Structure 1
Amino acid sequence: MRPGRISKVLAAAAALAVVLSACTGTPPAPNPASASPTATVGGNVTVLEAAPFTSFNAASVTGKTATNTRVDAATHSGFNTVDSDLKIVKNEQFGKYEKVKDNPLTIKYTINEGVQWSDGEPVTADDLMLQWAAMSGWYNDSVLDKNFAVTSGTAYFHSAGDHSGLAQTERPVISDDGKSLTLIYTKPFSDWETAMGSTVSIPAHIVAVRAGLADAPALSRVLASVPKGDPAKQTRPDPTLRKVADFWNTGFDSRSMPDPTLALSNGPYLVKGITADKELVLTRNVDYAWGTVPKLDTLTVKYQADPDKQIAALEAGTADVISPATNAERVSALDALKPAGVQLQQGSGLGFDQVVLNFKGALAAPDLRQAFLHTVPRQQIIDEVAKPLDANAEVLNSFVFAPVQVPYKESSASNGSKEFAAGALDSDGIAQAKEQLKGAKPTVRVLYNKDDAERVAQYQLIAESAAEAGFSVTDAGKNAKEWVAALKSGTFDVALYGWSRNAAGSAQVPQIFRTGAASNFNNFSNTVVDQLTDQLALEPDPAKQNALKMQIDKLVIEAGYGLPLFQRATLSASGEHVSGVAHSPLEIGPWQSIAQWAYVK
């Protein structure tokens, strides 16, 4: 499970000069008996992505990008995936995992016979052992500063995910036949089902050889011998594990086609070729039989950072699938292409906009926080900011549940968020804020990204409404390069920023709302919430997790933490020569439906 991320900060915005060309695959011969478009098996589809492919290890710090993650999903398989309703879907054609015991929590993973890498080597428990080692932080004995930089000790694997779950396991045990791996947690962990990630992407036998070891079992023996890291008892780095980790960290990074052993697949597609910063070609893995077999022969990935040029390429027929950043003008431009066979895939993503109040400073008093929140014109923000991006946008009424999740309606009805329904469009809200202020005129600094047009619009509406109630509003907006530092330093009273939910699981909730947590930027602290988040991290039962999250949702809003605004829309579009492209809220976007994509005559 990955940690939460601030919207629009980590995405690269570098402009790329890209030469767009027509689909490289040979389309099937026309069928004179059919006058309407017909989906076929075979053919090629061209996809535009905003940034070039850079790594075959999308789980590493250097490799964790949207493009790399999408290619990883197309070329690798695993025990489960998360669907568009944010529900976990098992892939028992790949293998099975089972809870062997509740106390201690014991999980056994078994890979099916016949699942193999594209070089013919089987996927084994040695691959799982390496994945556990890389994603657990188990061997690290490093001390980190507040910016997560190593100040002393050793950090071996630089994985981009959250270590909190797998770090709580004993060293795994591999079965005698090499097909199963058993994990024992030292204490219960709520997100055990997604802790090992959605794909098995790094071949242990390749890492072993590159680190000077004989084979994958030899690598597992190293991982079985190095002691667990302890920051209080730092030791000299193990030289063999250092070599293994160093290769895992950056050895799979490449902008051009590397040695084929670094591009191995165990999924529906193989990487056939890469032209640096220009294109990547995927071809169907003919041996793949442990999941849904794709319809396309090839898929060509090209790069274009400019969303408007993506739309122009779709119109010109030099691209078949695009995922441009959404705004009203682009939605309108794509709507105009519908007569030419263009289809839009729109819906809510995992990201949402929010207003967050600092518990230190001008709004430290609970009644002042409540007064400010009553001025937030949420419905006006929906009408003027969100609906031009998504005609179905509605006020979001939960910090912890997405609208597609079953507990959302129950939690939003009981957490108190609907008391703050409209703000400036509701005279009662302004009147209530004035009554709570009792003539006071607090000065509040509102922080936001001034380079984001939607955030600017939100600020203007909120500032106008707050001023009407009696607040003195200071524009503390910063440019895109500066505002995150201001957020982390706490130099604000009100902050407008986005957040991205994890696709599944509960560990992100403690990360945000627990006292002193890594993503607790507004000095929120509540002892009951701390106790509930501790319980949540240990609770394996989904129904009980939801009950705990509903309590947290209510307590957070009652404390005046802030208000959710709206779920961010995501957008993709497909042309007349492809069918089966579907919306997904996940990071891989339309690629989630890649097995259903088909070339259309």
Structure 2
Amino acid sequence: MFSKGNNKMKKILALLLAAAMVFALAACGSSEAPAATEAPADATEAPAEAAASSLAVCLASEPDTIDPALNSAVDGATMVSHLFSGLAKWAQDETGALVIVPDAAAELSEGVENEDGTVTYTYTLRDGLKWSDGQPVTAADFAFAWNRAASPALAADYGYMFEVVDGYAEMWETDADGNIVNPDAKLNVTAVDEKTLEVTLANSVAYWNELLAFPTYFPVREDVVADEAWATDPSTYVSNGAYTMTGWEHNSVITLEKNPNYVDADEILMDKIEFYLSDDSNNMLTNFENGTWQLIDDVPTNEIANLKTEYPEEFVVAGQIGTYYVCWNINEAILPASSTLTGAEAEAAKAEIRNAIALLFDRNYIVEEIGQAGQVPASSFVAMGMTNPDGTQFYETAGSSDEYNGYYNVSADAFEANFAQAVETLKKYYTYDEATGMFTDFPTLTYLYNTSEGHKAIGEYLQSALAGVGITMNLENQEWNTFLNTRKEGNYSIARNGWLADYNDPICFLDMWVTGSGNNDVQFGKGGHKDVAIYSLDLTDLGYELKVENGTWAQTYDELISLIKSCTDNEVRYELMHRAEDLLMSTGCIVPLYFYTDIYMLDDSVQGFFSNPLGYKYFMYCTVAG
């Protein structure tokens, strides 16, 4: 068993190292998930032979949004990347390696360090850039879009991605009551003229070019987005990328067609892409097998073994830098009704309970019997594939144990001991019937997941694992865009989650948990947790003055993330990130299950397809053999 698991880990690590090398050459959230609604009733009917200039794919269900500033899902980002052109983009070089290259910018310029430590970049836009309605794309469009995406008024999930830009802190400064102090503050980004954009960063940022290729940094036009519903209807959807949206049958299909106004239109090979919307993996597989859809991003769990055999070239398992995990709502009441614990003692007990629950789950069973695609059991949140400055894996140096990597031992041999340890911890807080081996007063939980056979199968396993010790956990599924908003608003007790790297730095797994982040589904620093003062942080050994005992989340974690983003000493910065993950994992609210692989099926008639480590899939250079 150990040898087999070890070989599997080596194989997937090789895939992830390749993905990490792509990041390194170049320099996502996204939550990875297939999801939501039914395809058209006639979608399974075999069509007439499709023209080579048309491609039908199914990534997920109805997207929550395809506004570049508001999207936070991988499927939406794939569509947005076909519809918009940022200053930079992901591409393949002549060897097939993925790289970040200029897109709307004529070149990716070098930054100039200023006397105060800030860094200024100046970009010149290419000639001939146009919006899909024929109007010129200007530097002012980028300046407007960035300020909009970063603004408290929009409160975008990924707004914090502009924290590296000078001026962001002033935009978000608040008084003691939480009111914005500088409502007119802007990012330090200037349209010098119609074709020249100047931006100043608070300090040097190694992954800046990757941010420029991220959808949140794509341009939008002020007069277009003045209509709040602009991104929901093809008639009002104006973009500047390779495609324009020509149809959106909600909960059915989104149609993109080649944009004749795109500056590189001559290089775009695929004329039309139909993104079918479905959460039914059986329906997806049927449409793939009868030739209706050429790519599907989900398959029935119980078919994986057969598909590997029947479609050895078309069933694809690719490396991906991400983590599938369970998250708790930190404000959920999980102590028994009879508990007399209050305040800090109650909060500390809840953290210990959540960490104990994490030990009841057999991650090896999940990846071998449910996942079946080379996923690796995870004992930390920052994913495999992220590396330290010395090239070692970040996850291998996480936690404080000398016996295993991460925050708990996820080897198959350790499960029995983990289970026993969890039970002993839970006995401190709940009534335990020794005769039955069951706890009798654990509050009922509800596990929220988005519609998918795979997510359901994992949920059912987690449910059975908890039932084995007397804990009742009901399952509730929602379609994708509803699920995203339910989780974001904190209207859940425990939920499935997933995160893929946005760029080549562990901070993209850590800054999402600051209080004000739109991706802070756990609700750290919000609601009742806002005033919880149980966290301690001492950075004096690293040369900082910050030393907090029994502070709030904002006083500790938020401050730590800010220091990481302003730190220019790489060794110190990575040590700070390890401490941030230590603090995050101490809450027990993040329960990693496995490190992702990317599973999809691609018809062998399709040529020119590629994807990146963020999970985005690219179809613009595809051709389909007749």
Pair 1:321–1:542, CA change in 2 (3 A)? farther
The residue type paired with residue 270 of structure 1 is Y
Match of 1:45 among 50, 55, 58: 55
Contact in 2 for aligned 1:345/1:571 (Cα 8 Å): yes
Contact in 2 for aligned 1:112/1:179 (Cα 8 Å): yes
How big is the shift at 1:129? 1.8
The residue type paired with residue 308 of structure 1 is N
Q: Distance in 2 between matches of 1:511 and 1:186?
A: 19
SS at match of 1:553: helix
How big is the shift at 1:274? 3.2
Q: Distance in 2 between matches of 1:22 and 1:60?
A: 36
Residues matched between the structures, number? 502
The residue type paired with residue 498 of structure 1 is N
Pair 1:161–1:419, CA change in 2 (3 A)? closer
How big is the shift at 1:45? 3.2
The answer for the alignment partner of 1:323 in structure 2 is 297
Contact in 1 for aligned 2:490/2:521 (Cα 8 Å): no
Are 2:80 and 1:100 aligned? no
How big is the shift at 1:435? 5.7
How big is the shift at 1:132? 2.0
| Paired-residue identity, % | 13
Are 2:426 and 1:406 aligned? no
**1:7-29 CA-partner distances (Å, limit 9, x unpaired):** 769x54355435466477645xx
How big is the shift at 1:497? 2.7
Match of 2:102 among 87, 91, 99: 91
The answer for the alignment partner of 1:246 in structure 2 is 226
How big is the shift at 1:171? 4.8
Match of 2:79 among 66, 71, 75: 71
The answer for the alignment partner of 2:10 in structure 1 is none
Are 2:447 and 1:448 aligned? yes
Q: Distance in 2 between matches of 1:5 and 1:273?
A: 26
SS at match of 2:560: helix
Q: Distance in 2 between matches of 1:543 and 1:128?
A: 34
The residue type paired with residue 199 of structure 2 is L
**1:481-500 CA-partner distances (Å, limit 9, x unpaired):** 899869966985xx353132
Q: Distance in 2 between matches of 1:203 and 1:414?
A: 40
Pair 1:482–1:534, CA change in 2 (3 A)? closer
SS at match of 1:534: helix
The residue type paired with residue 377 of structure 2 is V
**1:295-341 CA-partner distances (Å, limit 9, x unpaired):** x34233152413322222221122222223x44224346435427x6
**1:59-118 CA-partner distances (Å, limit 9, x unpaired):** 254x7776653333124322334689x998243764324422253523324134335126
Superposed CA RMSD in Å reads 4.6
Contact in 2 for aligned 1:321/1:574 (Cα 8 Å): yes
Contact in 2 for aligned 1:80/1:91 (Cα 8 Å): yes
Structure 1 residues 64-463: aligned runs within 5 Å? 69-81=77-89, 89-91=100-102, 94-101=106-113, 103-117=116-130, 122-137=136-151, 155=153, 159=156, 161-163=158-160, 165=163, 167-168=168-169, 170-176=187-193, 178-184=194-200, 198=214, 202=219, 204=221, 207=222, 211=223, 246-247=226-227, 249-255=228-234, 258=235, 263-265=238-240, 267=241, 269-271=242-244, 273-274=246-247, 276=249, 277-278=252-253, 280-283=255-258, 288-289=263-264, 293-294=267-268, 296-305=269-278, 306-324=280-298, 326-332=299-305, 334-335=307-308, 337-338=310-311, 342-348=314-320, 350-354=322-326, 356=328, 358=330, 362=335, 364=346, 373=355, 376-377=358-359, 380-384=362-366, 387-399=369-381, 401-407=382-388, 409-416=393-400, 417=406, 419-421=408-410, 426-433=415-422, 441=430, 443-445=441-443, 446-449=445-448, 452-463=456-467
Contact in 2 for aligned 1:490/1:521 (Cα 8 Å): no
Q: Distance in 2 between matches of 1:6 and 1:245?
A: 25
Pair 1:353–1:87, CA change in 2 (3 A)? farther
How big is the shift at 1:430? 4.1
How big is the shift at 1:159? 5.0
The residue type paired with residue 113 of structure 1 is R
Contact in 2 for aligned 1:95/1:111 (Cα 8 Å): yes
Pair 1:343–1:60, CA change in 2 (3 A)? same
Q: Distance in 2 between matches of 1:123 and 1:270?
A: 15
SS at match of 2:226: helix
Pair 1:536–1:462, CA change in 2 (3 A)? farther
Mark the runs of 5 or more structure 1 residues left unpaired by the alignment. 28-42, 141-154, 212-243
Pair 1:174–1:391, CA change in 2 (3 A)? closer
The residue type paired with residue 131 of structure 1 is A
Q: Distance in 1 between matches of 2:303 and 2:150?
A: 41
How big is the shift at 1:582? 4.3
How big is the shift at 1:415? 0.8
The answer for the alignment partner of 2:622 in structure 1 is 597
Q: Distance in 2 between matches of 1:160 and 1:439?
A: 38
Are 2:551 and 1:538 aligned? no
Pair 1:271–1:419, CA change in 2 (3 A)? closer
Contact in 2 for aligned 1:349/1:570 (Cα 8 Å): no
After TM superposition, the score normalised by the length of structure 2 is 0.65
The residue type paired with residue 465 of structure 2 is L
Contact in 2 for aligned 1:116/1:122 (Cα 8 Å): yes
The residue type paired with residue 13 of structure 1 is T
Contact in 2 for aligned 1:106/1:182 (Cα 8 Å): no
Contact in 1 for aligned 2:316/2:602 (Cα 8 Å): yes
Q: Distance in 2 between matches of 1:478 and 1:322?
A: 25
How big is the shift at 1:419? 3.9
Q: Distance in 1 between matches of 2:90 and 2:300?
A: 27
Mark the runs of 5 or more structure 2 residues left unpaired by the alignment. 1-27, 170-185, 336-344, 401-405, 432-440, 538-555
Contact in 2 for aligned 1:385/1:458 (Cα 8 Å): no
Q: Distance in 1 between matches of 2:271 and 2:243?
A: 9
The residue type paired with residue 448 of structure 2 is N
How big is the shift at 1:578? 0.8
How big is the shift at 1:550? 1.4
Contact in 2 for aligned 1:348/1:568 (Cα 8 Å): yes
**1:336-385 CA-partner distances (Å, limit 9, x unpaired):** 5427x634344546351136595875394758855774564577333245
After TM superposition, the score normalised by the length of structure 1 is 0.67
The answer for the alignment partner of 1:509 in structure 2 is 510
Pair 1:289–1:181, CA change in 2 (3 A)? same
Contact in 2 for aligned 1:134/1:158 (Cα 8 Å): no
